[in-house]
Structure 1
Amino acid sequence: MPNDNNQAPVTEVGLRSLKLRPGVALQTQGVAPGSPKKEAQFLAAIEGKGVMVGPHAASSGKASPLKAGEEYTVQGFTGQHDFSFKAQVIQIFEVPFVYALLVYPKVVQARLVRRSLRMKTSLPAKLSLAGGSGAINATLIDVSPFGAMVHAPSPVGVIGDVVNLAVGVNFEGELVGLEIPAKLCHSHKAEAGDGVHVGMSFKTVSQRDRLILHYLAQSSTEAV
């Protein structure tokens, strides 16, 4: 995943401070050596009481991947923090919906990955390697003042390369162009359809472009 702050240390925080939203994707793994990783989703938590974890959204309605009495390592990403904690499953429920109730963790290991939330968007963009010729048509799919993710038809450079991201933004009724140098942080196959998702962190950004990026992020409606 894109990393706007890859030097941040891991700290111990309370689960409540992460402000998890229902539906946040989780990965669970039994603490026993060789245990498989299972996809799940956060449903809710009551401080000091328990954490409700359901099956992955794509398999909702099916049996819980967790087992009562077993201990698991739970990992996730809030949009700003990577986090993980260990907890035992208290009980599995099937009504009114399928979920596992986990012991509420005393502390959570968290690391700040992004300095601000990325906001979903969908804007035509172009990517080109710094100093290279030609540009690849892409779609800007999320953005913050510090980084972005685009959907591209094919991989662009390698991790650590610097690219130029060009995108047009409707800024207070006027179309303005942004051209920002960015470092490639990761690239992976898109979950649906063809192409790849390319994550990047911005390098030097002018005050004017930073203002427009703040405007773009704030005018979008859904955090990622």
Structure 2
Amino acid sequence: MNGPHSAVPQHDIAHAKASADGNTKQTLVNLSDNDWRIGQTLFLQHDSTRYLVKLIGFAEGKSVLVSSPAVDGKVQLVREGQSFVVRTFAGKRAYAFTSSVQKAVHVPFPYLHLAYPKQVSCTVVRRGARVEVELVAALTMVGAQHTVALMVKDISLGGAAGSARIPAGVPGEAFRLKCKVKVAGEDIYLDLPVVLRSVHPEDGKEQFRHGFEFGVLDVRDKLALGAFLHETQSDLD
């Protein structure tokens, strides 16, 4: 059996739509050529049902082994033959392929054999590719107790923009931006280092538009953000 090879992924959205401005490039690749790691998070999607599972490994040309999906610690019943769209995100690349459950195994621990895909769709998402959202966030100045409520309007791998009732600060100041996103039906809390790059009043509104650049994200937040962006875009395709 082959072990996969590099990258472990992991508010309420009132409205979301993806920017269609040529910020993605899609290719077809072989699963064995992907740089994935054991433990990588995969998202199984069947109609409106989504599960988070972990990659265990794969036997090239035969099957992909993943942990059985669980919700609130309870293993979910998945029937053999059930089809899924399988998605994951590694670095700036979003991957997807269709598969079905070959076998559900229960001992020594619950896991699934998924049919090995002939090809995997790989989409390179550029750092500046934006997704329009409505995310309730809290913005706290680094080294101070000053917190401002912010509605994030668009977000990408490189930064975000949003509106607040008052100016949060002046360009160049550092903040922590905290918000909640949904990935595969689960709430994930992000705590992102940001630098304020612009702030100006919005025309005809008692609001101020803020533009932020992300600092260095930790692995968990980067992967969770990437997965959220990919899933939001996929929902609107």
Provide the TM-score with structure 1 as the length reference: 0.51
Structure 1 position 166, deviation (Å): 4.7
Q: Secondary structure at the match of 1:161?
A: strand
The counterpart of 1:48, out of the listed 61, 69, 84, is 61
- Partner SS for 1:95: coil
SS at match of 2:150: coil
Instruction: Report the counterpart of residue 29 of structure 1 in structure 2.
Output: 45
- Counterpart of 2:109, as a letter, is F
1:84-99 → structure 2 map (5 Å cutoff)? 84-99=96-111
Q: Distance in 2 between matches of 1:136 and 1:201?
A: 11
CA positional deviation for 1:38: 2.3
Distance 1:45 1:88, change over 3 A: same
Q: Please name the residue that 2:93 is paired with.
A: 81
Q: Distance in 2 between matches of 1:202 and 1:112?
A: 27
- In the TM superposition, what is the alpha-carbon distance from 1:103 to its structure 2 partner? 1.0
Q: Whose RCO is larger (CA < 8 A, sep 6+)? A: 2
Q: 1:106 to 1:70 in 2, by over 3 A?
A: same
Question: 1:154 offset after TM fit, Å?
Answer: 4.3
Match of 2:201 in 1: none
Mapped partners of 1:38, 1:12: distance in 2 = 24
Task: Give the whole-Å Cα distance in 1 for the aligned partners of 2:27 and 2:196.
Answer: 25
Q: Which residue of 2 aligns with 1:101?
A: 113
* 3-state SS of paired residue (1:158): strand
Q: 1:21 to 1:44 in 2, by over 3 A?
A: same
CA contact (8 A) 1:28 1:40 kept: yes
Corresponding position: 1:72 with 2:84: yes
CA distance in 2, matches of 1:75, 1:55: 15
SS at match of 2:43: strand
The residue that corresponds to 1:161 in the other structure is 161
Q: Is the 8 A contact 1:68 1:89 kept in 2?
A: yes
Deviation digits for residues 151-179 of structure 1, max 9, x if unmatched?
x8743653263995656xxxxxxxxxxxx
Q: 1:189 to 1:24 in 2, by over 3 A?
A: same
Work out the percentage of aligned pairs sharing the same amino acid. 23
Residue identity matched to 2:57: A
Q: Does the 8 A contact of 1:54 with 1:100 survive in 2?
A: yes
Give the CA deviation at 1:39.
Answer: 2.5
Letter aligned with residue 36 of structure 1: T
Sort the Cα spacing of 1:102 and 1:41 in 2 relative to 1 into closer, same or farther, 3 A: same
Q: Partner of 2:31 in structure 1?
A: 15
Corresponding residue number in structure 2 for 1:63: 75
Native 8 Å contact 1:42 1:54 kept in 2: yes
For structure 2, the 5+ residue unaligned runs are: 1-9, 11-18, 128-138, 155-159, 163-169, 182-186, 198-214, 224-237
Aligned to 1:125: none
Letter in 1 for 2:113: L
Q: Which one is further off, 9-18 or 101-110?
A: 9-18
RMSD over equivalenced CA pairs, Å:
4.4
TM-score where L is the length of structure 2: 0.49
User: Across the two proteins, how many residue pairs are aligned to each other?
Assistant: 155
8 Å CA contact 2:42, 2:86 repeated in 1: yes
Structure 1 residue matching 2:97: 3-state secondary structure: strand
